[in-house]
Structure 1
Amino acid sequence: MTTVVDAGTSGAETFLQEKEEVIDHARVRVLAFLNIVANGMNGGLEQTVDQMDVMLCSETIKKYPDIIVGVKTAHYWTEDPWDGEHVPWAAVDRAIECGKSANVPVMFDFWPRPGRTYSDLILKKMRPGDIHTHVFAQQFPILLPDGKLNPIMAQARQRGVIFDVGHGGGSFWFRNAVPAAKQGFVPDSMSTDLHTGNYTILSMNNVMSKFLAMGVPLADIIRRSTMNPAREIHRPELGTLSVGKEADIAVLDLLQGNYNYIDCGFARMDGKVKLIARMTVRAGRILYDPSGMSMVQWEKARPQYFTTPGLGNSKPARADDFPRE
């Protein structure tokens, strides 16, 4: 991939560290949603409402508009009873308030429960352009008991709500994804939610391949993996190839064979196609080329290739000594 978007690892108090230690040194473009929790995704502090500082979050977003593309809320009070310090919609409401102040979308990682329902989130709370990620997770009633698509999904889309895959280590279940896709409901954007706890996701190509196995057309998958996400984060110049744009290119190969895909419930789906990455080009520079697509045949290599280091004045050859086709 040429561009990645971090989904709320850091908050206003920790963003500068992420920027200096990760973003500024990345070879690909890295953008970010800022966590409404000032300390970011940090366990217990995600449950502390006082950590959800709307003004500090908004000010940080405005300070780094070239990197921060939205607000993220996640993991708030998923099990314990509500109390005076933990009201049902605290994280959602504060994230939306920050989104309004900074004029950016909000991404929701959400767990429905009594007092905080999924239908209220997507039909009442979320604004047009806001994003619900992990849409095919096990906890969402996107299907009715008879297997038909819940009408609230179409109603939310009509309101302008955006649905995202956000596969992750526990948020993609074929029992929801396959029936929904067969009834025409495919998420607006496809994404990985890659983190150290992932097992069933592996890569963006793996996510895309699963949707191929589910019968979604390749062109549709590409659009939902490139142009759509770019539009959702208000960066329409990304995710497309055209004259005058940066040369950000992912070269993929479509393999035919027998392949197996697993979901977060450790159930399997069989498929006949698989996408793999052959090359990644970021801003015109080749970053990934494991099969040597850009390299010359060895017989045609530069003279330096055929020298032996240590003899005469020869020096060890380096990668930059050799041209790419």
Structure 2
Amino acid sequence: MASAETFDLILKNGLIIDPANARSGPGDLAVRDGRIAAVQGSIPDAKGKTVIDVSGCIVTPGLIDMHCHICQKLPVSSDTLRCVDADAHMPQQGVTTAVDAGTCGWRDFFNFKEEVIDKAKVRILAFVNIAAGGMLSMETEREPANFHSRIAAELAAAFPDIAVGIKTAHYRPEPPFTEHYPAWTSVDKALEAAELCGLPAMFDVWPAPGRSYEDLLLKKMRPGDIHTHVFARHIPVLEADGHIAPYVLEAREKGILFDLGHGAGSFSFRNAIPAGRQGFFPDTISTDLYTDNIAGPAIGLTHVMSKFLSMGLPLDDVIARTTVKPAAAIGHPELGTLNTGSCADITVLKLHEGSCGYTDSEGKRFSGNKKLECIAAIREGRFLYNPGGLGLPQWDEPR
């Protein structure tokens, strides 16, 4: 019988970065029964059934992409956001938890759960879209008659292990506003739903005269609510002179969270780089991944993380914004950590330094010098992504 001190897996000699526990240094990590069993300076090889030397690699909690779109619908119509497959695209970027950012409203959520969430190897959580058809029927996001606060709230409350908040997007009435298309209808309905179910709301709101970004942040949003696409070109985080807008800093003090949500059209170096040089970075780094940006400019979470490393955000802070901070934002503090006893979701990364280039949503290039590569993604102690065959026997070893 195996000793109680025998571990299923030991990762040796890695740089362990676990911002939830303010840990950043060399060490070993052990897994037993799908849980983190030990994190310490050295664990004897003899205690592991499988022992893997990850020297020169970074060991982190499983990464969380808190803004992506993974509810695939076929056939695809012109009114449907073309989503990606979570198991096909997330693990190779180190993501073990993918948060769908409001692809589905109440009309499609049950099918999403049964056909995608329940069958995926990646953990999938989701914001519920305030519009009935969500982004599977994007015209419903533009029509106030489709905003159902109570239904959205009851749906979110019915699935507390999956639903993490309420999302509104793509409601863009142009002034002058009318009785049928008021300026703030989608925002107000999302807030009403979020209040009813006790969850945060995520906002994708296009500012316009009479519907300002300042009013959204300071008059509408509550502490813990999330504004996404913070560095989109149309979001006025910077004043004309290039300084961070004072109301943006006031909103952060108030407790408003800023999510990156890179996407195909929502990330501009002309906003991100000046903001970063002033010390203003997103609270959470996410991809807004869907089919139209998976080949660029977003590509995946480690690619987006690499942009921020090259822009000067320290490695530990980049890891925090893709582990413990999104976990807190979505109300799942059990994720994004290497606490002993926590689920063994683990990402192994390699940091490469040297000349490299990145693009944004405006077709602009930034010359960087750092790039992260995912070496392995582990979910509940099992490899989801292991291209180098870590821990596997050599082909010519006896069977």
TM-score (norm 2): 0.74
Task: Tell me what 1:231 maps to.
Answer: 328
Task: Tell me what 1:147 maps to.
Answer: 242
CA distance in 1, matches of 2:391, 2:277: 40
Task: Tell me what 2:142 maps to.
Answer: 47
CA RMSD, 1 decimal: 1.0
Instruction: Give 2:305's match in structure 1, choosing from 208, 217, 226.
Output: 208
Q: Which of the pair has the greater relative contact order for Cα pairs under 8 Å at 6+ separation?
A: 2
CA distance in 2, matches of 1:119, 1:136: 15
Task: State the SS of the aligned residue for 1:158.
Answer: helix
Q: Which has the larger radius of gyration?
A: 1
The CA deviation string for residues 217-242 of structure 1, in whole angstroms up to 9 with x for no partner, is 00000001100000000100000111
1:19 Cα deviation (Å)?
0.8
- For residues 52-91 of structure 1, the aligned pairs below 5 Å read 52-79=147-174, 81-91=176-186
Is the contact between residue 302 and residue 373 of structure 2 (CA under 8 Å) also seen in structure 1? yes
Task: Tell me what 2:217 maps to.
Answer: 122
Letter in 1 for 2:124: V
Task: Tell me what 1:168 maps to.
Answer: 263
Instruction: Give 1:32's match in structure 2, choosing from 114, 119, 126.
Output: 126
Task: Tell me what 1:268 maps to.
Answer: 365
The CA deviation string for residues 156-191 of structure 1, in whole angstroms up to 9 with x for no partner, is 011110000000000000000000011010110000
Task: State the SS of the aligned residue for 1:299.
Answer: coil
1:294 Cα deviation (Å)?
2.4
Is the contact between residue 70 and residue 104 of structure 1 (CA under 8 Å) also seen in structure 2? yes
The CA deviation string for residues 67-105 of structure 1, in whole angstroms up to 9 with x for no partner, is 000000000025475222110000000000000000000
Structure number with higher strand proportion: 2
Instruction: Give 1:10's match in structure 2, choosing from 104, 112, 128.
Output: 104
Letter in 2 for 1:113: A
CA distance in 2, matches of 1:276, 1:238: 22
Is the contact between residue 175 and residue 208 of structure 2 (CA under 8 Å) also seen in structure 1? no
- For residues 168-207 of structure 1, the aligned pairs below 5 Å read 168-198=263-293, 199-207=296-304
1:297 Cα deviation (Å)?
2.3
- For residues 282-301 of structure 1, the aligned pairs below 5 Å read 282-300=379-397
Letter in 1 for 2:342: K
1:119 Cα deviation (Å)?
0.2
Is the contact between residue 118 and residue 140 of structure 1 (CA under 8 Å) also seen in structure 2? yes
Letter in 1 for 2:202: M
**How many residues get paired?**
302
CA distance in 2, matches of 1:282, 1:80: 48
CA distance in 2, matches of 1:170, 1:14: 26
Structure number with higher helix proportion: 1
Is the contact between residue 57 and residue 98 of structure 1 (CA under 8 Å) also seen in structure 2? yes
Is the contact between residue 173 and residue 182 of structure 2 (CA under 8 Å) also seen in structure 1? no
Identity of aligned residues (%): 50
Is the contact between residue 8 and residue 40 of structure 1 (CA under 8 Å) also seen in structure 2? yes
CA distance in 2, matches of 1:79, 1:179: 29
Structure 1 gaps of 5+ residues are 304-325
Letter in 2 for 1:161: I
TM-score (norm 1): 0.91
Identify which range, 140-149 or 60-69, moves more after superposition.
140-149
